[in-house]
Structure 1
Amino acid sequence: MKRKITLALFVSIFLSLSTIAFGANLNSPKVGLSQDLIYFVMPDRYKDGDKKNNDNGGFNTSLTAFWHGGDLKGLTGTCEPGDDGLVRIKSLGFTAVWLTPVVTQQEAIGAGSGYHGYWGTDFLNVDPHLGTNADMLEFSKCAKKLGLKIILDVVTNHTGDVIKYLGNEAYLPAESKNLKNPAWLNDIKNYHNVGDVGSCWGVGNCTKLGDFYGLDDLATEKPVVYKGWADVYGKWISKYGISGFRVDTARHVDDNFFKNWTPLIKATAKKSQITDFTIFGEVYDYSTLNLMTYVRQNKIETVLDFPFQAKATEFAAGYSNAPVLSALFENDDYYTSAQSSASNLVTFLGNHDVGRVGYTIANKRIQPADQLLPRTNLANALMYFSRGIPVVYYGDEVGMTGSNSGRDQFARQDMFPTDIELWKNEVRVGGSPIGNGDSFSATSQSPVAKYLIKLAEIRKSNPALANGPMLERYSKYALYVISKKDVVENREYLVAFNNSDTDEIVEVTTATSGGEWTQILGATEVTTNQNKVSFTVPALSTIVLKATSTINQFATKHTKLTTSVDDLTGFYKVKAGISSKDFLSVEFFARNVGSTKWLSQGIDTGAPYSIFVNPLDFPKKKVELKATARNSKGESFVFPITKLTISAP
């Protein structure tokens, strides 16, 4: 993706902008989960609701890599108040539940089992360790009753490791020829069969063609495969009312897979009256420049935000300061297109692969033990109140951390009483090691759980804080301050994060003059002078303020569109020369010279207002660009047409 495309630019610009109309702010594209709070859970490690299904092979509660007994009945619970299942999850403020894959796994091998769900063989049925299809239906009914959306983790890149190699020749052992379900998965021609992802043979990209950790790599470019997966996972949507998929190992499938598969999945969801179905991919990469390729060119609807995970935990730990967050959010423009925006990114602080947030923060830098709780709370507040769709990993709400590397198997603790000695003695954020106890009993006393409930209540009462338009107001040293906008009330919020162990005073200029600022979260003293607001942010804490007056500072300075080549991607950077303390939204358009049809290139709702245009989208050399900006008053400003010439890449 690091192509560099040389551009020869010539610019023709009108002398000024003009105010042309009044209307509401432009809105960037939003996925169906854009306002949700997601609880990510591994069913095997949540709760054992049916001990009869533990006798299915690979069950060993004393080893981290085997089945431990949690199941769908335990996760569902009674669906009545006070229960530890879905009712508990809803009570923590979550609106959606994401399950690791529940399909039938290959049998346990010497080193471990498929308790995690990523070694599938029968993709039409629930793994017996987790229960039955009927149990899945009861889980779905309970979730629907409680108003919880279900997100299912699905695998399309590979199956369990069934195919074997004799030298470079792939073959199916006789006893495994019909092991997989549905039948097309048993056809060896539907796999790449070129060895491991790290050392494959033949011609091509091993990342796309090789076996991921030895798992059978499917030829996802073949119609029989992507249509087959659409049929398989379409059945789960139709039968269980699934609202979204998290797609595992999304970087390893064919570049055109999502272009072929997603429309089929969306069509099935629509037939099931699920009009807001959302697909997000796991592209395990910490580079925004790489992630944007999968969203904008490979057409994954959205992805897990690994860069956010890294920078948010660094900031919360005090390992880095506010400018790191500035740089993170300034890169959001790379995601902007007519179909996508950074507001759709799925944010997280820890998971089953990278480890838990408490462990990550504790190990970023040496710090007093009593800072772990406030720093963890700071990280959660940053995730809940900035942009994106927040995910909390099960167990983080009760302060689970980790041991050894803190990753993978060491981040997949039992919620019920555990037989793993390491887990019994691990540090808990804001609490004591669990010992022989269970995490359900610990929930009511956990300061992390209490804080997450508070954050969720604030988001629910103040929808602007849940993924509303966002502007950076201050970014220096330990202080990061943003404004969020309630587009219905036309009202502004201030959210300030302090990662220092001392109180900090800040003054910011807002889009609101006059009136007062109500304290929503935290305690502080606020003074105002016209549209300047001063307040103290206590050490290691978050302050949220809401203006009592509506936004009234609309003054805007504007010039023209400018273009330049982004050396990192070869895309055009198109920047609108416009600035204001107000919340602006700018929609960019492009067309080939001679065409009458303008094509939207996306809407930017955060300063600086710019987008990155892919030159390969415009096969002709001469292109015209324009943009329209709108403020909170409803005024629209049209930027004059800018022309440019693209030399051949």
Structure 2
Amino acid sequence: MTTPIRSVASSEVQSVIARAPPSVTFHPSPTAWEDQVLYFLLPDRFSDNSEKDYKDVQGNPVATGTTAKYGPQDNANAVSNDNDAAQWRDAGSAFVGGKLKGVISKLGYLKRLGVTTLWIGPIFKNVSELQTYHGYGVQHFLDIDPRFGTPEDLNALVAAAHKEGIYVLLDIILNHSGNVFEYKADNPHYTGDTFDVKGFYDKDRVPNIPLGKVDEKKYPTAFPDAAVWPSELQSAECFTRKGQINDDGWDRSPEYLDGDFYDLKDIALGDPSPDNFNATPALKALCQCYQYWIAYSDIDGYRIDTVKHMGDGPTRYFASVIHEYAQHLGKDKFLLVGEITGSRAFETVEATGIDAALGIGDVQEKLWRVPKGQVNPAEYFDLFRNALYLNKGSHTWFRDKVVTMIDDHDQVWRGNYKGRFCSDGNGPQLVVAAIALNLFTLGIPCIYYGTEQAFDGQGGSDQYIREAMFGGAFGAFRSKRRHFFDEDNPVWKTVAGLAEVRSQEMALRRGRQYLREISGDGVHFGLPSIVGSPPIRSVIAWSRLFAGEEVLCAIATDPNSQVSAWVTVDSDVHPPGSTIVLLYSSIADKVPKSVKVQDTNGRSIVQVTVPPGGVVLYK
């Protein structure tokens, strides 16, 4: 892409959108998204392509580079004194230097981990003078932020990922742009009124460009770093101009739909109702932007930011346009995952036609707390049972309608204090159990970058759960200038083993799911639950059943000692006297290689032993 793009109507954009088979061959969608293992990374925080002592795609050691691998002696090497600690903290609030080329260089690391789909945080051009390293403050929807690389780098990344059997999802935003204009009022908050605007910011952050189609003769330096692009988004009517959502307004309609997401400017997408919906010019322009990126880079799906704040009408319109366009290119199952906070996640999936909801809120919280023994396991498993309001005949509906993950970059459910799973509550000793629960229960599982290296994210706010895998000035574990692409890390190795088993067993990807009763004496059975004060130190067992096969999964919530329990299994699949065989154990020499199915009061039971904080699978 050599010609700078200013408009969706340009020949550069329209000629790409017009691409179609058979003149262009596009990468096909997977057969089923529930078969995939996703991996979410923020491009600024993953790799700067300067590491050494890691393995390339072929598994060969890379000796070049300037950043050495992290070792235990490097823990807290960035915070040895108050001044250094302040510099480390400050570094975490700004761009630290991750690149798309860095992601390309680590595809071998990801493939060997068992990742089959990359979810890449927003890479489109942000406001150049602001440190929106997370990527959610877009200023130009038809360009890549130069801090991450170029459009050609994106093409190269997608092509290289596809070569390794890895799909690619891009994180996109429709609800808002970056902080591209200034109000006349000082720090206005939502009242229902429309506020006057001083103007678009110029490249020096002075709001002297009138809101409206930019006159580049009068403002010759407006492109590319001033105002908003493409030019179809420059009309005043493209923005709601209602001021920031108030602290108590995140669930109040229409405030949460029309207000600004902090200082990010809300884009006018249209009436939230899907009935008789008419798309606004802004929504139509954004649809063409995202059609362009599908055809340009051959990506496989989108994760849509802040869907709750878009409304069902705009979301349904976008989903229809993108799905139809992707199918036109031969991508019949182009994935649209919506970030939907609050209680309407599953209803929104049904109403809008997006494919899945990001499992934040109750799903993520329970997935976090169950392995730590902080809540009854039924509280997590019941989220996937038949619900009358869903009118679903089988809870397997959830197998491809929710993306589940332990850690992420926002942790909305945790409120004001943030920290990764490994930051508290015996997290480092229980992270294997948590990842097993994530990989082997219903949904499309996703690993947040660094979880496979047991990052702790200690610090309390968003920036601390966004450590740099490549080290730089803001590395994990309060370190700097040390990278974490360590395939000898025991957690990494266990995740790779779990992912391999998942890829081999269809029941673990598509099967029905049942939380199993347990017993200490083989006679008295019940679901594991808190008696007295948490935590539970027990076995949590569940079965995945598919086409006459059962895989029994069990994790231990005791971080220090192995635990044993009698567990019920399906008597039709495993009658008394039959044998089930060990598929996987996180510590293989500590558990029986096979167990005999016994009978008690007409039910089939087996005794399982699980390593401390570990996992076993039997079939």
* 1:389–1:467 contact (8 Å) kept in structure 2: no
Shift of 1:349: 0.3
* 1:60–1:68 contact (8 Å) kept in structure 2: no
Instruction: Confirm or deny that 1:96 pairs with 2:117.
Output: yes
- Shift of the 316–416 alpha-carbon distance from structure 1 to 2, 3 Å rule, reads same
Q: Which residue of the partner structure matches residue 501 of structure 2? A: 458
Instruction: Confirm or deny that 1:66 pairs with 2:118.
Output: no
Q: Which residue of the partner structure matches residue 236 of structure 1? A: 293
Shift of 1:115: 1.5
- Shift of the 437–63 alpha-carbon distance from structure 1 to 2, 3 Å rule, reads closer
Q: Which residue of the partner structure matches residue 609 of structure 1? A: none
> Residue type of the partner of 1:520?
L
Q: Which of 378, 385, 397 is 1:341 aligned to? A: 397
* 2:307–2:315 contact (8 Å) kept in structure 1: no
- Greater strand share, structure number: 1
- What CA distance in whole angstroms lies between the structure 1 residues aligned with 2:43 and 2:127? 17
Q: Which residue of the partner structure matches residue 293 of structure 1? A: 347
Q: Which residue of the partner structure matches residue 228 of structure 2? A: 180
Shift of 1:334: 4.8
Shift of 1:333: 6.1
- Shift of the 238–171 alpha-carbon distance from structure 1 to 2, 3 Å rule, reads same
- What CA distance in whole angstroms lies between the structure 1 residues aligned with 2:139 and 2:326? 24
Q: Which residue of the partner structure matches residue 556 of structure 1? A: none
Question: Equivalent residue of 2:118, what SS?
Answer: strand
Q: Which residue of the partner structure matches residue 78 of structure 2? A: none
Q: Which residue of the partner structure matches residue 518 of structure 1? A: 581
Q: Which residue of the partner structure matches residue 503 of structure 1? A: 563
Instruction: Confirm or deny that 1:325 pairs with 2:380.
Output: yes
- Shift of the 350–336 alpha-carbon distance from structure 1 to 2, 3 Å rule, reads farther
- Shift of the 346–425 alpha-carbon distance from structure 1 to 2, 3 Å rule, reads closer
> Residue type of the partner of 2:128?
E
Q: Which of 523, 528, 531 is 1:476 aligned to? A: 528
Shift of 1:532: 0.7
Instruction: Confirm or deny that 1:205 pairs with 2:259.
Output: no
- What CA distance in whole angstroms lies between the structure 2 residues aligned with 1:338 and 1:542? 30
Shift of 1:502: 5.3
- What CA distance in whole angstroms lies between the structure 2 residues aligned with 1:227 and 1:143? 30
> Residue type of the partner of 1:155?
I
Q: Which residue of the partner structure matches residue 528 of structure 1? A: 597
* 2:38–2:118 contact (8 Å) kept in structure 1: yes
Q: Which of 459, 469, 473 is 1:415 aligned to? A: 469
* 2:326–2:334 contact (8 Å) kept in structure 1: yes
- Shift of the 254–38 alpha-carbon distance from structure 1 to 2, 3 Å rule, reads same
> Residue type of the partner of 1:43?
P
Question: Equivalent residue of 1:217, what SS?
Answer: coil
- What CA distance in whole angstroms lies between the structure 2 residues aligned with 1:170 and 1:338? 52
Q: Which residue of the partner structure matches residue 392 of structure 1? A: 447
Q: Which residue of the partner structure matches residue 363 of structure 2? A: 308
Give the structure-2-normalised TM-score.
Answer: 0.72
- Shift of the 233–92 alpha-carbon distance from structure 1 to 2, 3 Å rule, reads same
- What CA distance in whole angstroms lies between the structure 2 residues aligned with 1:376 and 1:50? 29
Identity %: 25
- Shift of the 43–176 alpha-carbon distance from structure 1 to 2, 3 Å rule, reads farther
* 2:541–2:567 contact (8 Å) kept in structure 1: no
Q: Which residue of the partner structure matches residue 520 of structure 2? A: none
- What CA distance in whole angstroms lies between the structure 1 residues aligned with 2:390 and 2:349? 7
Q: How does 1:15-414 map to 2 (within 5 A)?
A: 32-49=32-49, 63-77=91-105, 85-109=106-130, 113-167=131-185, 168-172=195-199, 173-175=207-209, 178=214, 179-198=227-246, 205-221=254-270, 222-285=279-342, 287=343, 290-306=344-360, 307-330=362-385, 334-335=389-390, 341-344=397-400, 345-354=402-411, 359-362=419-422, 365=425, 371-405=426-460, 407-414=461-468
- What CA distance in whole angstroms lies between the structure 2 residues aligned with 1:361 and 1:395? 11
Shift of 1:60: 10
Instruction: Confirm or deny that 1:537 pairs with 2:580.
Output: no
- What CA distance in whole angstroms lies between the structure 2 residues aligned with 1:479 and 1:413? 33
* 1:305–1:346 contact (8 Å) kept in structure 2: yes
Q: Which runs of 5 or more structure 1 residues have no equivalent in the other structure?
A: 1-29, 52-58, 78-84, 366-370, 427-433, 547-649
Question: Equivalent residue of 2:197, what SS?
Answer: strand
- Shift of the 380–89 alpha-carbon distance from structure 1 to 2, 3 Å rule, reads same
Shift of 1:36: 0.5
Shift of 1:278: 0.9
- What CA distance in whole angstroms lies between the structure 2 residues aligned with 1:351 and 1:315? 17
Q: Which residue of the partner structure matches residue 630 of structure 1? A: none
* 2:142–2:230 contact (8 Å) kept in structure 1: yes
- Deviation digits for residues 245-285 of structure 1, max 9, x if unmatched? 10011110022112111111011111221111110111123
- What CA distance in whole angstroms lies between the structure 2 residues aligned with 1:378 and 1:127? 38
Structure possessing the higher relative contact order (Cα contacts under 8 Å, 6 or more residues apart): 1
Q: Which residue of the partner structure matches residue 605 of structure 1? A: none
- What CA distance in whole angstroms lies between the structure 1 residues aligned with 2:386 and 2:303? 23
- What CA distance in whole angstroms lies between the structure 1 residues aligned with 2:257 and 2:31? 27
- Shift of the 536–98 alpha-carbon distance from structure 1 to 2, 3 Å rule, reads same
- Shift of the 454–399 alpha-carbon distance from structure 1 to 2, 3 Å rule, reads same
Shift of 1:540: 2.8
* 1:248–1:282 contact (8 Å) kept in structure 2: yes
Shift of 1:61: 9.8
What is the root-mean-square deviation in Å for CA atoms of aligned residues?
A: 2.9
- What CA distance in whole angstroms lies between the structure 2 residues aligned with 1:251 and 1:424? 32
* 2:125–2:143 contact (8 Å) kept in structure 1: yes
* 2:386–2:393 contact (8 Å) kept in structure 1: no
- Shift of the 333–435 alpha-carbon distance from structure 1 to 2, 3 Å rule, reads farther
* 1:241–1:272 contact (8 Å) kept in structure 2: no
Give the structure-1-normalised TM-score.
Answer: 0.68
Q: Which residue of the partner structure matches residue 645 of structure 1? A: none
Shift of 1:359: 4.4
Question: Equivalent residue of 2:168, what SS?
Answer: strand
Shift of 1:43: 1.1
* 2:48–2:102 contact (8 Å) kept in structure 1: yes
Equivalences, count: 477
- Deviation digits for residues 402-457 of structure 1, max 9, x if unmatched? 1221x41111111123323xx4644xxxxxxx5642112xx122111011100011
Q: Which runs of 5 or more structure 2 residues have no equivalent in the other structure?
A: 1-29, 52-86, 186-194, 200-206, 215-226, 271-278, 518-526, 530-537, 586-590
- What CA distance in whole angstroms lies between the structure 2 residues aligned with 1:338 and 1:301? 18
* 2:109–2:487 contact (8 Å) kept in structure 1: no
Shift of 1:384: 0.4
Q: Which residue of the partner structure matches residue 23 of structure 1? A: none
